[in-house]
Amino acid sequence: MKSILIDTSTNNLFVSFYDDTNKERIYFSNILSHNNHSENIINVIEEGLKTNNLEVKDFDNVILGYGPGSYTGLRVGMTVGKMISYLLNKNLYVISSLSFVSSGYFDKDGIYAIYNVAKKDYCYCKVVEVKNGNVNILEDDKFITDCEFNDLVSKYNAKVINQDNYLINEEEIKKQMVLVDNIHDLVPNYLRKANS
């Protein structure tokens, strides 16, 4: 069993190929792509396939960070993930993008405030506590001001996870992913209107 994992919610473009049976990463790409995810995502996936002598049909699952985050970025990742799932009849799973980009910390006890920049001094964030291998949500996905985020960091005395230290762990992502029953009904978790 193999999974392809995609997140395009931030300025980083994350693509991972993961061997679920052997619990091993086959391919991983994290490139700073800013507003160019649509120009880069197919090339990144093709590079991974070519490097590892794979085809998209070799994957059993698609795991997609579905927001919150960049309006355009989310649409890019959602389109690619849904098309792979639909055209090849593969399972599609989703996970909060904030959990996706911070999953590498979910095997270490602590309180984490996860931050993704938005426009006009706003951000997308959540706060989780990891204890004994369990991830407990203290503040679920939010769209708030940077000042409000700083207040949450102080309130929980949390370690900040942001673009400077995002860390991915596919096994932790698999623990939180949710199967999509009907991909035609799936929409990104924007948390705000596009023009806000």
The DSSP annotation for 64-101 comes to EE--SS-HHHHHHHHHHHHHHHHHHT-EEEEE-HHHHH
Give just the sign of the alpha carbon dihedral 44, 32, 37, 30.
positive
| pLDDT for res 31 | 94
d(CA 58, CA 162): 33
Give just the sign of the alpha carbon dihedral 6, 120, 187, 43.
negative
Helix extents (H) in the chain: 37-51, 71-88, 97-102, 146-156, 170-176
d(CA 32, CA 72): 15
Give me the domains of the chain, ranges plus CATH numbers: 2-97+167-185 (3.30.420.40), 100-161 (3.30.420.200)
What average pLDDT does the chain have?
95
Task: Give the predicted TM-score (pTM) of the model.
Answer: 0.95
| pLDDT for res 193 | 55
pLDDT tens readout for residues 32-47? 987 789 999 999 999 9
Query: Is 80 exceeded by the pLDDT of residue 17?
Result: yes
pLDDT tens readout for residues 149-178? 999 999 999 999 999 999 999 999 999 999
Side-chain-side CA neighbours of 176 within 13 Å: the count stands at 26
d(CA 85, CA 82): 5
Considering the chain, what percentage of its residues have pLDDT values greater than 90?
92
pLDDT tens readout for residues 184-193? 999 999 987 5
